[in-house]
Amino acid sequence: MSEAKQSVSDLYPSLTYADAPAAIEWLCRVFGFEKRLVVPLPDGGVMHSELSFGTSVVMVSSPRPDMGRVSPEWQNGRCLALSVFVEDPDAHYQHTLDEGAEIVMELCSEEYGARGYMASDLGGYHWYFADYRPGAFWDSAE
């Protein structure tokens, strides 16, 4: 585990995966996340984890049906996509492609100035990696 980084975000997504330990390893290997904390369950699942990517943190855990938390694999459709800032979307795209991830939107330049792509992870979540920080336009327009 790498040294802890201070996060500067106020939003911390928490994602549920049918196989949380495999998802953690996959997110680190394929997308470049770093493990900060993993709290295992006695049955081999994950009670809580924190993965970092730059200054962002995402939490990953095993299903908790008693709390209504299930993996997207258990649903018909998707209710979210996560957007992640990367300095070099072309290099990140190539690495993700080389690792065999499913690309659901090819690398492209958007009308609003972003360059990025979208991939599906092993649990069915969609991730949009781009050189775009939502809200940056509003900060510069003031």
Q: Which domains does the chain have, with CATH numbers?
A: 11-62 (3.30.720.120), 80-142 (3.30.720.110)
Provide the pLDDT for residue 2.
45
Q: In what order do the strands lie in the sheet containing 81-85?
A: 81-85, 126-130, 115-120, 102-109
Provide the pLDDT for residue 106.
97
The answer to whether residues 62 and 47 touch, using CB atoms and an 8 Å cutoff, is yes
Provide the pLDDT for residue 78.
60
Q: How many angstroms separate the CA atoms of 54 and 33, rounded?
A: 8
pLDDT in tens, the chain (142 residues): 445 555 567 778 999 999 999 999 999 999 999 999 999 999 999 999 999 999 899 999 999 888 778 887 777 666 678 999 999 999 999 999 999 999 999 999 998 889 999 999 998 889 999 998 877 655 554 4
Q: How many angstroms separate the CA atoms of 112 and 83, rounded?
A: 15
5 contact partners, CB below 8 Å, separation of at least 6:
36, 52, 55
